[in-house]
């Protein structure tokens, strides 16, 4: 029988711990602060940013949303980032994707003070993640949140075969690195993978992050596998669905995340967790 992973419940546990940590820092005169910069009017991004802001405020954090027009230039955005780099009330800086075509995203990533890189996208942090370097540093929030869910549900990646479908720097690549560091045997699959569905069926742990609605069905899942659906897609009726056909996966997967209510809440909870950690580490920089 397939068991549904309750991302909301796990996120609540993370948020409860974060709220305690915020209170402890505030008592020491430090209020964790985050700024989310959004460029343009992408509807999905605006909803996501609104949810982040509400959660941060609810947890007692200093939260800023900086809305910029889609005509914002590269130089203007970099100047705004530099101002937040110098703002001691801000511990985490996040620039929401997607960005308009005139903005060079890698340059934006490099412009953020690494000590405030709440997404963990700076090449120095990516290198530390891949090499499993010890110490304190941020890691991409969605993959980190997924690892938290796996632990909460007693899924130990060690010795298991894991397949990550998707190779983005936001999810796929850091997810593969975290699973490798946890001693799984990892395959990264993508649009050029031959016989993708057969590869998917080898997985004890299957993470799907492609943005293609219902790419994976129950026929593509190994019986008893843990299936993590990162997709946030819309079907022909406008309904929010995942990259995995949830209904056909029922009775095949051992554990599965729903869409919505699975990975999404954990991403925001982990973002808040990381912001508080950056505030804690701000006086103990490596």
Give me the residues paired with residue 97 across strands: none
- Averaged pLDDT of the chain: 96
- Percent pLDDT > 90 in the chain is 93
Tell me whether the omega of the peptide bond preceding residue 260 falls within 30 degrees of 0, making it cis: yes
Q: Which long-range contacts (CB under 8 A, 24 or more apart) does 42-46 make?
A: 42/98, 44/232, 45/96, 45/97, 45/98
Q: Mean pLDDT over residues 83-88, rounded?
A: 98
In the set 52, 160, 173, 222, the catalytic residue is 52
Question: What's the pLDDT tens digit per position in 224-276?
Answer: 999 999 999 988 888 999 999 999 999 999 999 999 999 999 999 999 999 99
For residue 253, what pLDDT is reported? 98
The SS3 assignment for 252 reads: coil
Q: Which long-range contacts (CB under 8 A, 24 or more apart) does 110-116 make?
A: 111/78, 111/81, 111/82, 111/85, 112/81, 112/85, 113/85, 115/278, 115/281, 115/282, 115/285, 116/84, 116/85, 116/90, 116/91, 116/92, 116/278
CA-CA distance, 226 to 233, in Å (whole number)? Answer: 20
CA-CA distance, 207 to 143, in Å (whole number)? Answer: 10
Q: Mean pLDDT over residues 63-91, rounded?
A: 97
Whether the predicted pLDDT of 282 surpasses 70: yes
Best CA proximity match to 87, nearest among 33, 49, 29: 33
For residue 44, what pLDDT is reported? 82
| Tokens standing for residue 258 | 């729903």
Question: What's the pLDDT tens digit per position in 153-203?
Answer: 999 999 999 999 999 999 999 999 999 999 999 999 999 999 999 999 999
Output b/e per residue, 267-278; b: 16+ Cβ within 10 A.
Answer: bbbbbbbbbbbb
Whether the predicted pLDDT of 96 surpasses 90: yes
Best CA proximity match to 159, nearest among 177, 184, 187: 184
Q: How confident is residue 286, by pLDDT bands cut at 50, 70 and 90?
A: very low
For residue 284, what pLDDT is reported? 60
In the set 55, 116, 117, 119, the catalytic residue is 119
- The DSSP 8-state label assigned to residue 261 in this structure reads S
Exposed, middle or buried by CB within 10 Å (0-12, 13-18, 19+), for 168? middle
Best CA proximity match to 7, nearest among 187, 183, 227, 237: 227
What dihedral do alpha carbons 43, 48, 50, 56 form, nearest 10°? -170
Best CA proximity match to 233, nearest among 256, 208, 251: 208
For residue 127, what pLDDT is reported? 97
Q: Mark whether 52 is an active-site residue.
A: yes
CA-CA distance, 91 to 89, in Å (whole number)? Answer: 7
- Percent pLDDT > 70 in the chain is 99
The bridge status of strand 205-208 relative to strand 185-189 is unpaired
All domains in the chain, ordered by first residue? 29-113 (3.40.50.10860), 141-264 (3.40.50.720)
Q: Are 170 and 193 in contact (CB under 8 A)?
A: no
Q: Mark whether 96 is an active-site residue.
A: yes
Residue 217's contacts (CB-CB under 8 Å, 6 or more residues apart) are 244, 245, 248, 249
């Amino acid at each position: 029988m397939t068991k549904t992973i309750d991302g909301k419940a796990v996120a609540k546990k993370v948020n409860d711990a974060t709220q305690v940590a915020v209170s402890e820092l505030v008592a020491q005169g430090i209020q964790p602060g985050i700024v989310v910069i959004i460029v343009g009017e992408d509807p999905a991004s605006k909803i996501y940013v609104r949810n982040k802001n509400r959660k941060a405020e609810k947890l007692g954090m200093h939260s800023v949303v900086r809305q910029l027009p889609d005509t914002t230039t590269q130089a203007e955005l970099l100047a705004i980032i530099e101002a937040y780099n110098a703002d001691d009330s801000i511990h985490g800086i996040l620039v929401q994707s997607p960005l308009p075509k005139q903005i060079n995203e890698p340059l934006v990533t490099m412009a953020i003070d690494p000590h405030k890189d709440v997404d963990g996208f700076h090449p120095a942090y990516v290198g530390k993640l891949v090499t499993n370097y010890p110490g304190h540093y941020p890691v991409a929030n969605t993959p980190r949140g997924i690892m938290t869910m796996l632990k909460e549900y007693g899924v130990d990646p060690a010795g298991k075969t894991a397949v990550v479908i998707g190779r983005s720097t936001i999810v796929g690549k850091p997810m593969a690195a975290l699973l490798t560091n946890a001693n799984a045997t990892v395959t990264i699959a993508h649009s050029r993978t031959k016989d993708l569905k057969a590869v998917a069926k080898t997985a004890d742990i299957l993470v799907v992050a492609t943005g293609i609605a219902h790419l994976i069905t129950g026929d593509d899942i190994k019986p008893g596998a843990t299936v993590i659906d990162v997709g946030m897609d819309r079907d022909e009726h406008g309904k929010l669905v995942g990259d995995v056909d949830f209904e056909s996966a029922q009775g095949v997967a051992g554990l599965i995340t729903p869409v919505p209510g699975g990975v999404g809440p954990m991403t925001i909870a982990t973002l808040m967790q990381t912001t508080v950690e950056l505030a804690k580490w701000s006086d103990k920089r490596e």
